[in-house]
Amino acid sequence: MHPFFATLAAMSLSGAPQSEPTPNGTTPSPPIEVQQVAPSLYDYTQDVLFGQNWKQADLSPRDRSLVTLSSLVAGGRTAQLPSHLKLGLDNGLKPSEIVGLITHLAFYSGWPNAMSAVGVTKDVFAERGIDLSSINVHDAALLPVDAAAEAKRAATVANNVAPLAPELARYTDEVLFADLWRRPDLTARDRSLVTVAALITQGQAEQLPFHLNRAMDNGLSQAQVGEVITHLAVYAGWPRAMSAVPVAQSVFASRASES
C-alpha cells in the first residue's frame, strides 16, 4: 500500500460524522409526501425513472446502482444516499465495493463529498448488520497494469502536467494510477464506470475523452456508455447528459477510425 493511503486509512468509517437515514428503505418509490406536494414528480418517478429507466437492459441493476451512487456522492447528494445504498446492496453490490467507490471518488469529486458519504454509509451498514472489519482491503495485493497504456498515460502527464505542477504529476503517477486504480475492491471496469459517472455529474467534459476511452478499454461497450449517459440525465440533470453526448460520439468515431 502506498504511504499516501496511511492517511486515508485513518479516515475510517468508525470516526466519520453520522447522518439520519431516510425511511425509504430499498423500495424504488418516492416518499408519500412527494405524491402529496408534487404529484407529477411522483408520477414521473414511478413511471419513467423506476418504471422505464432502471429497467433498460444495457446496464444491469447492479451497474445502475454503481452509477447512481457515484453520481450522488460526486454531487454531494447525501440525503438520497441511504435508500440507494440499500438498493445497491440488494442489487448485488458488495460492501467493499461501496467503500471502494467512496474512496475512489475522494480523488475524482473531492474529499468533502467522500467524507460526507462515509457517515451515511456507516449507518446503513450498521442497519444491515455488516461487520466493518470484514470489508478491510487495505493490505490486499494490487491489480496488474497494462504496461504500454500506463507508459503512454505517464508520458502525457510528464509533458502536460509536470512542467507546471510537478507534485500533482507525482501524485497522479504514484498514487492515483499506481495505487488507487489498482486496488482490488473494484474491478477496472467498475472503477471506470464510477469515474465516468462522477465526471458527467460534475460537468467535467474535458476529462471525459480519456476516461471514456479507458472505460471502453476496460470492457464497457458503446451501448453501455449510452445507457450511463441516459441514466445520468435523471440523476445529474439533462444538461450534464446532453453535454456528454457529443464527447462520447467523438470518442466512438475516433476509436472506429483507429480500428
Residue pLDDT tens, the chain, 259 long: 444 444 444 443 444 333 333 333 344 567 788 889 999 999 999 999 998 999 999 999 999 999 999 999 999 999 999 999 999 999 999 999 999 999 999 999 999 999 999 999 999 999 999 999 888 766 778 999 999 999 999 999 999 999 999 999 999 999 999 999 999 999 999 999 999 999 999 999 999 999 999 999 999 999 999 999 999 999 999 999 999 999 999 999 999 998 7
Q: What stretch of H or E contains 82?
A: helix 81-90
Question: Which 8-state DSSP code applies to residue 204?
Answer: -
With H, G, I as helix, E, B as strand and everything else as coil, classify residue 187.
coil
- Dihedral (CA of 78, 79, 81, 82) sign: positive
Q: What's the grid cell of residue 189? A: 471496469
Give the residue carrying C-alpha cell 408534487.
38
Q: What is the pLDDT of residue 6?
A: 45
Query: pTM for the complete prediction?
Result: 0.88
Residues 195 and 31: their CA atoms lie apart, in Å, by 30
Residues 59 and 231: their CA atoms lie apart, in Å, by 9
Residues 133 and 143: their CA atoms lie apart, in Å, by 22
Residues 248 and 141: their CA atoms lie apart, in Å, by 33
Residues 69 and 121: their CA atoms lie apart, in Å, by 11
Q: Provide CB contacts within 8 A for 174, sequence distance 6+.
A: 2, 4
> Could you give the count of Cα atoms lying within 13 Å of 122 in the half-sphere of its Cβ?
17
C-beta of residue 69 within 8 angstroms of C-beta of residue 98:
yes
C-beta of residue 193 within 8 angstroms of C-beta of residue 67:
yes
Q: What's the grid cell of residue 5? A: 493511503
Helices and strands in the chain: count of H runs, count of E runs: 13, 0
Question: Which 8-state DSSP code applies to residue 144?
Answer: P
Q: What is the pLDDT of residue 138?
A: 66
Q: What is the pLDDT of residue 137?
A: 64
> Could you give the count of Cα atoms lying within 13 Å of 209 in the half-sphere of its Cβ?
10
Q: What's the grid cell of residue 52? A: 422505464
